[in-house]
Structure 1
Amino acid sequence: MTQLNWQTEQDLRALLCELVSWKSMSRTDGERDFPYKAHAKLQHIPYFQEHPEHLALVDADHHRKLLTALYKHENATKTIVLISHFDTVNTEEYGDLEALAFEPEMLTQALLERTEELPEDARRDLLSGDYLFGRGTMDMKMGLALHMQLIEKAAAEKWPINLVLLTVPDEEVSSVGMREAVPHLITLKEKHQLDYFLFLNGEPVFAQEPGDKKTYIYSGTIGKIMPSALVYGMETHVGEPLSGVTANYFASFLTKEMEFTDQFREAFEEEQTPIPVSLMQKDLKMEYSVQTPYRAALMWNVFTFKQNAGDIMQTFEKVANVAAKEANEHYTRICARENVAPVGKLEVIRYEKLVEYAKDKFGEAAVTRMVEDVCRYAEGDDRDKSFKIVDKLMIECQELAPAYVIFYAPPYYPAVNSSDEAVIQDATAFIQQEAKEAFDLTVNRIHYFNGICDLSYVNYADTRGGWEHFENNTPVWNLSYTIPFKEMAQLQAPVFNVGPFGKDPHKRTERLHINSAFVETPYLLEKLIRNWC
């Protein structure tokens, strides 16, 4: 029988540590190199030596690649897609131990020499010997290691089912890897006549609250969208403050109405979406002068369950109108007190309406060129470019000021929920029973994974046109950011997330529970997939 490389606890642990050691922080050379190394690793599996065409490196962006590995049984059409990401966040928080952040065994030993530096919970876990520390151990290279173990064994034992291993870059930033993977998954499906039966992610267990030690599986993933606003006032000299009006003044009213509002909140059974929180608030004045700041940028994080981009924009516009009304009333009272005339009335303008106005004023070709030039030459990421595009249009249409111009900044993660699917209900019950019988482990089901993940880009089912509201109100749409909504709708299969238990993702104390990672989760995943064979 073929010798297998990753089937024992020790070998799986060694594989994880090797994957972690390949530093792959988002937007670095390590992230670009990682899929080539993983590709070479998978080439050691005899099945892929016989079928090298079933391994593929696919372009993402900025010279990054995603990787797919297809194990296809000659008599099977039923196919499970195993999804993971290989990028990690940065490591500055490790301080003088940063050189060991990607060396789990050495880092765990080094931390034993300085336990007094750790929070109580992390110190207790370290001393227990039950955890392996390091960047990417939990989030989420263990998920990739588990999928590599599964596909190796399935190929060696000729399981009568098809598996597609998909691992992508950029999940920690904008999920460009998964968005680029969507058309490739469709190509694989058509070329090999695959019946996508399940999209199975390997993201780790995320705590529902601080100190939570329960084990979870997930039958969906939460949505995330970022309502944003460019606040445009009117410039003036500080010696004549009411000859204009600062953007900061008007921005404060919108912040007050948006921050922590419950108007976006959704509930599903016992679960609720977190309330909105600000991700950015700053004026756009680049240097000190006695001219007042007259443009400001605001951005919020909003989580969703059932609401689409159209629903969120409608609520956002409602909140912005309340803020504008209060701001206008307050501003009018100040002007009356100071015996001056207001410079104008604050209005709320959707980005799509601003574009229409600009096209009527300058012509469609001129506005298109204006927007493309900003996107092409502006520095910064998609969020920076979004604000700069809106700012450019408002500078050319200052007669609309003062205004809240409301729009979306990337990224957007649509919510997905497969809890009502029979296959997911059966899978949930199966895992819960197996975990109890084999390990006396209680596994709890969560309807929406709360860590945001790439499952958002499959099984898209919005029939109410929400995607059009996103496209029309996202300044960088089709320039530096797109979502393949129509293609996503072709990937119709339930979603499920089964991963190892860990703690403190994106923190210096990120760590992976050893028994969960190398004993319990491998057993449960194999049992689950073989149950469908």
Structure 2
Amino acid sequence: MLQCREDVLALTKQLVNIESIVNTDGEKIIAKSLFTLISSFPYFAAHPSHVRMEQTRNDTNERYNVLAFVKGTKGKSNRTIILMGHMDTVGIDDFNQLKDFACSPDELMEALKSEDLPRSARDHLQSGEWLFGRGILDMKSGVASNLYLLKYYSQHPDKLDGNIVFLAECDEEDGSNGVLSALKMFQSWKEEHGFDYVGAINADFVSPRYEGDTNRYIYKGTVGKLLPSFFITGAETHVGSCFEGLDPNFIAAELTKQIDYNPELCNEANGETTVPPVSLKQTDLKPSYTVQTALAAYVYYNFFIHSWTPKDVLIKLKEQASIAFDHALASFDERYRKYCERSGEPYRNIPWRSRVYTFEAMEQTLIKENGNAYVNHMASFKQILMQDPELDTRMFAARVVEEAWKWMADKSPAIILFYSSLYSPRIELTGKTDKEQALIHALEQAVEQVQPEYPHPIVTRNFFPYISDMSFVALSDDEEGIRAVSDNNPGWGTKHFVEYSDIRNLNVPVINIGPYGVDAHKKLERMEMAYSLDIVPNITNLVIQGLLQG
């Protein structure tokens, strides 16, 4: 066992002390600090080309990744392992009056002693075995573990029969521009140095899966994440004549009722099941108050997948949207009939029917009907939208669909289904390739060797359950699945673009061995030191050794 606790603890605090909130200058500051630190190690002073600070590509923010590698001298193998983790954090506004201490663990913990804390947090604070602070769990202690191993092997390249590549990426908490840009450097180093990437180890945090869960988890592969979105049109009317129109918010409410928490939309694979979708935004698109009902509404949902493709999700959600539309119309009709009975007004059959389109289908129809006039207009419209830096990818997509809808000949109520944000691909690690088998075997051996040194069970599962940059080092989807993303994202090629071919070119099996703690992204974010500072670096190191012996 490596005696690494104090070194990893010092590195963790050093990283946490640098406020590096995503989409702020803090991302630049921490990258420059980390680059300077790594460059000061004797190995990198002697090999300065082995450490790089690389600006992200096609990014609206100036920020950087830090990459480094150590070439082993124990043998002549080109087998190479990637150690990866992100430097950015979420914000600190939730710390309120303790905001000044959020990135200073020792001061924060002293201040927390006078706070009214939940019992578990109070026990952890008093135990001396937990460390509090923004980013300490998600995931600077994980980066510190990888950094320790980089330094260790830079001092002992003779113990390395192969190579290790270190990546500290920015922008994991928002758009994953960091890891997507790093793919270019991985490819460049592969061509220049002959690296044969055999595995990647991410160091993102792990937490209990339920109250009372004492397991510490290691994950093979990761959940995929989509943001299916719905543009919903109604039939506008004055609120004094409400039954003469159809409120799109009424349809949106029925859609959310149909999709939110729906177990039919949980994806089971390899004995594990995703949580169901849940709404992340529901709004109409009226710019201001009027006594007219809205013309359109906009909703989008988080959607996790294990084995389904983005195309599968579109098919399933189109069906769910049709069900919701039918329910909305049936409910409208029932209420309209009852109103007519009470008011004495004559009942008339409602004129609408359920209509659900994917964006791809709608656009194909509009191109067929309008040709270059539509294509050129939409291209110009997107360029105008691009001039608004405040418009995020999700609202950008909604505005594109809203503009395209104006070209539809039949403007009766409808639902348009599309994707409006980054697709974080699912990764299934099943042993289907030699590299996957080798990584799984190395992990199993490492856990078996370390378990006696730690009192809680270390358990391996198949899918990391949170969004992470693991998604961007391998692809389980085929080309058809990826096309479903690009063809149904209205901002594709302008506001949003991912070179999934770069991911497919790397296509390295990935696991997650990360620090253990609770309350990530919350004021009381904290990590258990014994597992995070002792066990994580040692399991990671044993996996490195096991893989490079293969």
Query: TM class, shorter-chain normalised?
Result: over 0.9
Equivalent of residue 398 in structure 2, options 387, 393, 399: 387
1:448 and 2:463 are equivalent in the alignment: yes
1:529 aligns with 2:544: yes
Residue 457 (str. 1) matches residue 472 (str. 2): yes
Q: CA deviation at 1:10?
A: 2.6
- Mark the CA change 1:458 to 1:7 in structure 2 (over 3 Å): closer, same or farther: same
State the AA in 2 paired with 1:133: F
Q: How does 1:99-110 map to 2 (within 5 A)?
A: 99-110=100-111
- Aligned runs of 1:217-228 on 2, under 5 Å? 217-228=218-229
Secondary structure of residue in 1 paired with 2:141: helix
1:70 partner letter: F
Residue 283 of structure 1: how far off its partner (Å): 1.1
Closer, same or farther: CA 231–224 of 1 in aligned 2, 3 Å: same
1:438 aligned residue: 453
- Aligned residue runs from structure 1 range 144-159, under 5 A: 144-158=143-157, 159=160
**SS of the residue 1:404 aligns to:** strand
Identity of aligned residues (%): 29
For 1:245 and 1:18, the matched residues in 2 are separated by 58
- The residue that corresponds to 2:343 in the other structure is none
Per-residue CA distance 1:400-459 (angstroms, 9 max, x = gap)? 331101101212111112143322331232122122233355210011011221111122
Note the alpha carbon deviations across 1:92-134, whole angstroms, 9 max, x for none.
Answer: 11111111000011111221232xx211111111111110000
Q: Which residue of 1 aligns with 2:50?
A: 54
Report what 1:66 is aligned to. Answer: 65
Deviation at 1:196, TM superposition (A): 0.2
> Which letter maps to 2:529?
I
What CA deviation, in whole Å up to 9, does each residue of 1:254-311 have, x standing for no partner?
Answer: 1221112223222234421101111111111121111111211111111100111101
Question: Counterpart of 1:69 in 2: which secondary structure?
Answer: strand
Task: Check whether the contact 1:206–1:451 (CA below 8 A) recurs between aligned residues.
Answer: no
> Does the 8 Å CA contact 1:458/1:492 hold for their aligned counterparts?
yes
- Note the C-alpha offset of 1:487: 1.7
Any conservation in 2 of the 1:375–1:476 contact (CA below 8 Å)? no
SS where residue 475 of structure 2 aligns? coil
Q: Could you list the runs of 5+ residues in structure 2 that have no partner in the other structure?
A: 341-345
**TM-score (normalised: structure 2):** 0.91
TM superposition outliers: structure 1 runs of 4+ over 4 Å? 332-338
Checking the alignment, whether the CA contact within 8 Å between 1:70 and 1:163 is kept in structure 2 is yes
User: In structure 1, the residue corresponding to 2:422 is in which secondary structure?
Assistant: strand
- Checking the alignment, whether the CA contact within 8 Å between 1:435 and 1:442 is kept in structure 2 is no
SS of the residue 1:505 aligns to: coil
Match of 2:378 among 346, 350, 367: 367
Give how far 1:9 is off.
2.8
For 2:26, give the aligned amino acid: G
- Rounded to whole Å, the distance in 1 between the matches of 2:489 and 2:35 is 36
Cα deviation, residue 64, structure 1: 1.3
- Output the CA distance in 2 between the equivalents of 1:353 and 1:164: 44
Partner of 2:77, secondary structure, is coil
Q: Is the 8 A contact 1:460 1:491 kept in 2?
A: no
- What secondary structure, in the 3-state scheme, does the structure 2 residue paired with 1:417 have? coil
Aligned twin of 1:22: 18
Q: Superposition pairs for residues 112-151 of structure 1, below 5 Å? A: 112-114=113-115, 117-151=116-150
Alignment match, 2:8: 12
Structure 1 length normalisation: TM-score?
A: 0.94
Please tell me the root mean square deviation across aligned C-alpha atoms, in Å: 2.0
After TM superposition, the structure 1 stretch with the greater mean CA deviation from structure 2, 290-299 or 421-430, is 421-430
Gaps of 5+ in 1: 1-5
Which amino acid in the other structure matches residue 206 of structure 1? Answer: S
The range that moved more, 145-154 or 522-531, is 522-531
- Return the offset for 1:335: 5.4
State the SS of the aligned residue for 1:179: helix
SS in 1 for 2:227: strand
Within 2, Cα distance between the matches of 1:132 and 1:378?
38
Q: Deviations over 1:215-267 (max 9, x none)?
A: 11111111111111011112222222233221111212212211122232222
1:26/1:172 contact within 8 Å kept = yes
Residue 7 of structure 1: CA displacement?
Answer: 7.1
C-alpha distance after superposition, 1:186-235 (max 9, x if no partner) = 12211211000101101122221234231111111111111110111122
Please tell me whether residue 178 in structure 1 is matched to residue 179 in structure 2.
yes
Change (3 A) 1:378 1:12: closer
Q: Deviation at 1:531?
A: 3.4
Aligned to 1:3: none
Task: Supply the distance in 1 between the matched residues of 2:519 and 2:211 (Cα, whole angstroms).
Answer: 10
Letter in 1 for 2:295: Y
Letter paired with 1:429:
E
1:54 CA drift (Å): 1.5
SS in 2 for 1:245: coil
Match of 2:126, SS?
helix
1:267 and 1:424 mapped to 2: Cα distance? 23
Aligned to 1:377: 388
Quote the Cα distance in structure 2 between the aligned partners of 1:398 and 1:166. Answer: 51
Partner of 2:509 in structure 1?
494
Structure 1 residues 424-433 or 326-335, which shifts more?
326-335
- What does residue range 195-210 of structure 1 map to in structure 2 within 5 Å? 195-210=196-211
Structure 1 residues 331 and 168: alpha-carbon distance in aligned structure 2, compared to 1, 3 A threshold: same
Which residue of 340, 361, 368 maps to 1:353?
361
Alignment pair present for 1:193 and 2:201: no
Matched, 1:417 2:425: no
In the alignment, the residues of structure 1 paired with residue 135 and residue 510 of structure 2 have an alpha-carbon distance, to the nearest angstrom, of 23
Aligned residues: 526
**Partner Cα separation in structure 2 for residue 124 and residue 511 of structure 1:** 12
